[in-house]
């Protein structure tokens, strides 16, 4: 039995229901966060909540619940589900209204939904590798907002599956933005590069952790625009996200990246990332 939280109540996920007139369903008028919980400890909880608040403010969605209450509910959902390692999904929509209208009413009560799934692949010392393809970025120009309007991302993941690869990377006017569900890093001559946050990309929490690791390890890195040619000529190529942590791409558009194996810098950074997870587990 999976337990979720929906509008003031903990209920079985199979029994949870939301109005078909909810604006999240009708318009994608909602934001979300995805949290990783290791040994039932939520990783980088404050960072996720801070990003959630920025997105709610951008959309003008006002919720009558404090950060501490949201944290408490997240932890309770985690505890009520038996898996030690979980992916926890939180969505807040503008709420349900009596009549479908693009313009929202000012007194609409937001819908808060939180559910948990087992983390199928926990970051570990094994060097799993992935393949990817490159495609043009067709998303709207506010992809820094973690909105549930994810149709383009769905199409990208379908395309990646059809091509027999694990991820699709996007470029806009010849410059890399991000992956369908990830942030992108590449290494050239022992220096790490990642697109800046002004390049219509999501400010990923794992991305933030990796940048902190660069600082701690005193690695040479730069946030800069990366063109397609530079990406293909990289010595190493990585992606990061909450559900997978950090993974190396060894093949892009059927071209081998580097020597086709996880690079030395990747392995060095990954060990530091695993240490961050271990530190989370003992809290």
> Which positions are annotated as active-site residues?
146
Strands 9-12 and 221-223: unpaired
Half-sphere exposure of 143 (CA within 13 A, CB side): 25
Q: Are 179 and 168 in contact (CB under 8 A)?
A: yes
For helices 67-80 and 45-59, give the axis angle rounded to 10 degrees. Answer: 120
Token pair 């990796």 is at which residue?
Answer: 210
3-state secondary structure of 215: helix
Q: Give the closest residue to 139 by CA, choosing from 186, 202, 58, 94.
A: 202
Reported as type and span, the H/E element at residue 91 is: strand 86-93
CB distance 175 to 184 below 8 Å: no
For the residues of 110-169, what is the DSSP string, one character each?
A: PEEEEEEEE-SS---SS---EEEEEEE--S-S-TTS-BS--HHHHHHHHHHHHTT-SEEE
Tokens of 280: 């989370």
């Amino acid at each position: 039995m999976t337990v979720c939280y929906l509008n003031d109540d903990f209920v079985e996920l199979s029994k949870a229901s939301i109005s078909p007139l909810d604006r999240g369903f009708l318009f994608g008028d909602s934001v979300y966060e995805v949290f990783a919980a290791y040994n039932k400890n939520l990783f980088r909880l404050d960072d996720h909540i801070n990003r959630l608040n920025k997105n709610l403010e951008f959309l003008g969605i006002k919720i009558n619940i404090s950060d501490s209450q949201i944290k408490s509910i997240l932890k309770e959902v985690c505890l009520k589900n038996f898996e030690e390692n979980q992916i926890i999904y939180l969505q807040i929509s503008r709420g349900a209204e009596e009549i479908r209208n693009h313009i929202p009413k000012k007194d609409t009560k937001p819908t808060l939904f939180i559910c948990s799934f087992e983390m199928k692949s926990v970051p570990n010392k094994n060097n799993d590798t992935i393949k990817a393809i490159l495609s043009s970025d067709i998303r709207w120009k506010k992809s820094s907002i973690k909105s549930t309007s994810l149709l383009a991302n769905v199409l990208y993941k379908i395309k990646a599956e059809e091509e027999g690869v694990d991820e699709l990377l996007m470029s806009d006017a010849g410059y890399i933005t991000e992956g369908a569900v990830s942030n992108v890093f590449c290494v050239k001559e022992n220096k790490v590069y990642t697109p800046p946050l002004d390049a219509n990309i999501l400010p990923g929490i794992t991305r933030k952790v990796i940048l902190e690791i660069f600082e701690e390890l005193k690695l040479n890195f730069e946030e800069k625009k990366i063109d397609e040619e530079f990406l293909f000529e990289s010595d190493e190529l990585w992606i990061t996200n909450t559900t997978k942590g950090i993974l190396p791409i060894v093949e892009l558009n059927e071209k081998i990246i580097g020597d086709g194996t996880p690079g030395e810098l990747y392995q060095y950074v990954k060990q530091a990332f695993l240490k961050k997870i271990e530190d989370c587990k003992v809290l």
